[in-house]
Amino acid sequence: MKKVGIIGGSGFIGSYITKQFLENGFEVKVSATNISREDKYEHLMTLKNAKNLYVSELNVENKAALKDFVKDCDVVIHGGTPFQLDVKDPQTELFNPTIKGTENFLEVVNDTPSIEKVVFIASVAAYNTNFPMPAGNKTVADTFNEQDVPFMSNESHPYAQAKFIANQTVNEFIKTHPNLDFEITSVSPVMVMGKSLSNREDSTSTGIQFLFKNKIAPNPFIQMFYDTDLPLAIVNVKDVAKGIYKAATRSGLHGKNYLLSSETYSVSDVSLMLNGLSPKHLAKIIYKNQLAEQELELHFESVKETLSQYSN
């Protein structure tokens, strides 16, 4: 039985990844930042094949703990960077765990002989830190794919900047280590939505869906979405998990970074669909998904179906 270590494996996306690997016969090790908070991972214990699941405490900034976590893994998924929009201290809350955690992780996996595959859960911010606004000189109607030049602005949200820099760190590591004994593949999902596997109320992803459904704006950043009726590229959380599983179990994908995206709708249409109503406008495809469809054989769920799952 092969073993996968999933850093961040009890979060919104991570829980579906954990489910995917358990159902496919893997032994699964999941990290928790605070193992005394059972509410963060107790939902995983009800999954199929949960007898093959282990939960252990991990701080990604602690190199010794990282080494212990990955030491007997064949596959490692790194999704342990915090998704936070309300930030008081970007350096300690976002940049350190995201960038330093990535640097530590790369150093540790490079010294772990058992590892065959590493998958990074990056972000659309690896390609465009202005998301959901257009990148650079593009307009809201312009498309974006993996061949476009990545765009970063120092005025973007700190979370997006941290994810961009972390992805650049991975790219630089691949470039300077041409003879690795394992493959590194990344996926970059757009706005991830759908139903949570847990009942936690502190998930940013499910929280955003709640805000959009009820048209609540707790801060200027969310208010901007309503004021401009921004077009929002969305992907189903289950499709992200499938993409990560396929990226982790297929060879020949070293150095690739796949955009994971379904359709794009304006925020007003997203609110309508979250309330079971039909959108007023037709879907667009802004962030292209052909590479993931072709090389990972993914079929992306429609946004209408994705948003209907949030309340079911």
What CA–CA distance (Å, rounded) separates 146 from 148? 6
**Predicted pLDDT at 235:** 98
What CA–CA distance (Å, rounded) separates 100 from 63? 10
**Predicted pLDDT at 86:** 60
3-state SS, residue 191: strand
**Predicted pLDDT at 76:** 98
**Predicted pLDDT at 227:** 95
Query: Which residue in 24, 32, 25 sits closest to 6, CA to CA?
Result: 32
Q: In terms of C-beta density within 10 A (0-12 exposed, 13-18 middle, 19 or more buried), how is residue 137 classed?
A: exposed
**Predicted pLDDT at 80:** 60
% of the chain with per-residue pLDDT over 90:
76
**Predicted pLDDT at 263:** 98
**Predicted pLDDT at 220:** 86
In tens, the pLDDT along 30-82 reads: 998 888 888 889 999 999 999 999 999 888 888 999 999 999 999 999 986 65
Structure token pair of residue 299 = 């079929």
- Domains, the chain, ordered by start: 3-311 (3.40.50.720)
**Predicted pLDDT at 127:** 97
- Three state DSSP letters for 201-258: CCCHHHHHHHHHHHCCCCCHHHHHHHHHCCEEEEEEHHHHHHHHHHHHHCCCCCCCEE
Q: Dihedral of CA 137/85/193/236: which sign?
A: positive
The answer to whether residues 151 and 135 touch, using CB atoms and an 8 Å cutoff, is: yes
**Predicted pLDDT at 84:** 54
The answer to whether residues 280 and 309 touch, using CB atoms and an 8 Å cutoff, is: no
| Strand order, beta sheet including 264-266 | 191-193, 231-236, 264-266
Below-50 pLDDT ranges, the chain: none
pTM of the model: 0.94
In tens, the pLDDT along 83-98 reads: 555 666 656 666 777 7
Within 13 Å of residue 86, how many CA atoms lie on the same side as its CB? Answer: 11
